[in-house]
Amino acid sequence: MNATTTRDWSLTPEQLAQLWDRMGLDVLPYPIQVRRVGLTDAEAQVAGERIRAGLRAAGLLDPRGRIGADLESALRQLTAPEAAVDSVWLDARGGESPHRALAVRTGRRAVLAVQAPGRDKLTGGQVTVRDIGVSALLDAVVRTLPPVPPGRRPGGRWPAEQARRHPGYSEVVHAPRARAGQLGVRVDRRRGPVLSWFDVPGDGRYGLVRTAPGAGPDWAHLFPVDPAGLHRWLGTALERTRTDLA
């Protein structure tokens, strides 16, 4: 499960927005977040030149203002991939802005974008974009999470409406949390299932999935999970989503 990196680029949110606009692209792919600030035309011109100067100094734009071919290709890869895995999580000791990650694969190329927290919940921070091995899609995202052992309680599976009445569910779900987040998958443009996870201090990490099998009631599945378990769950979710499209 090694994620082999071949090249990476580090961008401020403003630089990413500038490059995105220069490529004529629309909204940034979930969960990458850049907060657009309203500026007058004069302010936008000054800010744009400052950002472009920084991009040229970093070697990301040539003297004619053209984006490097490798970087442009990597960014375009993020827009409409064949398969994608995304992650958003918050640290209880941090602010309201989450850690974000998106790994995508199309053909024989895969790219990972990791975004640090920003100033507030609507503002993402520094973005690192890197090439990864095509077989490392799942592992690349799982590795962006702090490694935590699985929780010590067994969990279980209950009808969602009844789960909160079971101590095995309610005591874990309502325990203090050190971190919490979500993992999701997409195949083409179809969204697959989502796994919520959280870390209980002094205990470990748990996953929580809600499912609706057929026309029956929703079910809540709570289970201890480690990095290998997250990797397996993501692989199953991708395959299930791909099968649903067939």
* Rounded Cα–Cα distance for residues 166 and 121 (Å): 33
**Which of 186, 184, 207, 202 has its CA nearest to residue 194?**
184
CA dihedral 230, 231, 237, 243 (to 10 degrees): -170
Q: Is 35 among the domain residues? A: yes
Whether residues 38 and 125 fall in one domain: yes
User: Domain boundary residue among 142, 168, 184?
Assistant: 142
pLDDT score recorded for residue 122: 82
Q: Is 204 exposed, middle or buried (0-12, 13-18, 19+ CB in 10 A)?
A: middle
In one-letter notation, the amino acid at residue 35 is R
pLDDT score recorded for residue 38: 59
pLDDT score recorded for residue 92: 93
Whether residues 132 and 66 fall in one domain: yes
pLDDT score recorded for residue 9: 96
Do the strands 190-200 and 109-117 form a parallel or antiparallel pair, or are they unpaired? Answer: unpaired
pLDDT score recorded for residue 39: 61
Q: Which domain holds residue 42?
A: 8-142
Preceding peptide of 63 cis, ω within 30°: no
Whether residues 21 and 134 fall in one domain: yes
- Grouped pLDDT means (10 residues each) for the chain, 246 residues: 64 92 92 78 75 88 88 95 98 92 97 95 92 96 98 94 92 97 96 97 97 74 98 97 85
* Rounded Cα–Cα distance for residues 34 and 31 (Å): 10
What are the percentages of helix, strand and coil residues in the chain, rounded to 5? 30, 35, 35
Whether residues 59 and 172 fall in one domain: no
Specify the number of domains making up the chain: 2
Q: Is 148 among the domain residues? A: no
pLDDT score recorded for residue 208: 98
Query: Residues 6 or more apart from 205 whose CB is under 8 A from it?
Result: 148, 149, 150, 151, 197, 198, 199, 224, 225, 226
User: Domain boundary residue among 142, 171, 197?
Assistant: 142
Q: In the structure encoding, which two tokens stand for residue 210, read together?
A: 């809600």
pTM for the model: 0.91
Whether residues 20 and 129 fall in one domain: yes
**Which of 214, 218, 219 has its CA nearest to residue 155?**
219
Whether residues 16 and 137 fall in one domain: yes
pLDDT score recorded for residue 211: 85
Whether residues 38 and 130 fall in one domain: yes
Q: Is 231 exposed, middle or buried (0-12, 13-18, 19+ CB in 10 A)?
A: middle
Query: Residues 6 or more apart from 20 whose CB is under 8 A from it?
Result: 28, 34, 75
